[in-house]
Amino acid sequence: MANYSGTVKTVKGGYHARILLVKVIVYIVCILLTIMAIAPFVIMIFNASKSRFEIQQGFLEWTDKITNKTLISLLPSKSFIQNGRYLLTSDALGLPFGRGFLNSALIAFGATILSVYFSALTAYGFAVYRFKLNKLLYGFIMLIQMVPTQVTVISFVEMMNKWGLTNSYIPFILPAIAAPGTVFFLRQYMSSALSLEMVEAGRIDGCSEFGIFNRLVLPILKPGMATMAIFAVVTNWNSYLLPTLLLDKLEMSTVPMLVDKLKGNKYSVEYGAVYWGLSLTAAPLIVFYLALSKYIIAGVALGGVKE
């Protein structure tokens, strides 16, 4: 690389100037995109602290010279506690966000534990045992990753209703046992992280097959399982369509369902409370993301390169 830039420098005089120009453009674009990514959340949090009147007035501190009216103000204001109280406890709104968080957490973590454990079990079954249908069934798992999940949503809801599982969390947690994408990822992960000699050693030591998996293999798979767990938590936490179809009791609502309530008719005048509620639903995800961003970015990079 050093040689290359050396030769070009002598051939083209403007080389350094050109690189500098490109660099300036790159940083300008990146900074603009950073603002674009963050601004909506900043506006959301500031507006959560404003009264309805202030929000109706505007956003940035732009003074209309003719009418001398403040149209836009960026600064946070004092109605934060009032908006929160209105959102959580007032007669008009009073959405049970505390329960909502508990419900979403129960679904997200329940589904994640099942999907990660059973995916590891399935991937291990494919990786270690040479049974007859191994290749065929694994090919099937690769294929079903492509099936759009929403195609079966209505029949799934109908089946759950028939089974009396309306207003139950079982339809969100139990099906997580079959997560083809996670199986695929962990199978790939095992091909580099797991050695068959270790499995053999376990057998010689008299471990049962499940004993080998639970005591020897699971600890080795932890990093890969953690990566998949992060994404499973987020996906299940954010799940919106299926809960709206299967849960109709307010106290059983998940967080995205409460967000849906925020846009509804009678609350919509209280813009501050709406922003407060949206901030409340975004906050745990932002904290979760910033704490784990290193692993999440690495996971996205790993998950994408499948071939």
Per CB under 8 A, which of residues 254..293 are in contact with another protein?
255-256, 259-260, 262-265, 268, 271, 274-275, 278, 281-282, 285-286, 288-290, 293
Is 77 strand, coil or helix?
Answer: coil
Stretch of 84-92, 95-103, 218-226, 252-260 contacting another protein, by CB under 8 A: 252-260
Phi, psi dihedrals of residue 93, rounded to the nearest 5°: -115, -80
238 lines the binding site for another protein (CB under 8 A): yes
With contacts defined by CB under 8 A, how many residues of the chain interact with another protein? 107
Q: Are 189 and 306 in contact (CB under 8 A)?
A: no
Question: Closest approach of Cβ 47 to another protein, in Å?
Answer: 8
The distance from CA 95 to its chain's CA centroid, rounded to whole angstroms, is 23
Question: Closest approach of Cβ 36 to another protein, in Å?
Answer: 7
237 lines the binding site for another protein (CB under 8 A): yes
Phi, psi dihedrals of residue 64, rounded to the nearest 5°: -75, 120
Q: Which residues, 13 to 52, sit near another protein by CB under 8 A? A: 19, 22-23, 26-27, 29-30, 33-34, 36-38, 40, 43-44, 47
**Alpha carbon separation from 47 to 13, 63, 251, 278, 279 (Å, rounded):** 52, 18, 27, 10, 9
Question: Closest approach of Cβ 10 to another protein, in Å?
Answer: 13
The distance from CA 184 to its chain's CA centroid, rounded to whole angstroms, is 19
Q: Are 248 and 166 in contact (CB under 8 A)?
A: yes
Show the binding pattern over residues 82-111: x = contacts another protein (CB under 8 A), - = does not: ------------------------------
Among 153, 201, 226, 291, indicate the residue that binds another protein (CB under 8 A): 153
178 lines the binding site for another protein (CB under 8 A): yes
Question: Closest approach of Cβ 144 to another protein, in Å?
Answer: 7
- Per DSSP, 59 falls in state S
Whether the CA torsion 203, 206, 212, 216 is positive or negative: it is negative
Alpha-carbon gap, residue 30 to 259, rounded angstroms:
31
Alpha-carbon gap, residue 170 to 176, rounded angstroms:
10
Stretch of 85-93, 94-102, 139-147, 221-229 contacting another protein, by CB under 8 A: 139-147
Is 71 strand, coil or helix?
Answer: strand
Among 28, 89, 102, 158, indicate the residue that binds another protein (CB under 8 A): 158
Question: Closest approach of Cβ 81 to another protein, in Å?
Answer: 20
Show the binding pattern over residues 48-87: x = contacts another protein (CB under 8 A), - = does not: -------xxxxxx-x-x------xx---------------
Q: How many CB atoms lie within 10 A of CB 299?
A: 19
Instruction: Identify which of residues 91 and 294 has a Cβ nearer to another protein in the complex.
Output: 294
Q: Are 211 and 119 in contact (CB under 8 A)?
A: no
126 lines the binding site for another protein (CB under 8 A): yes
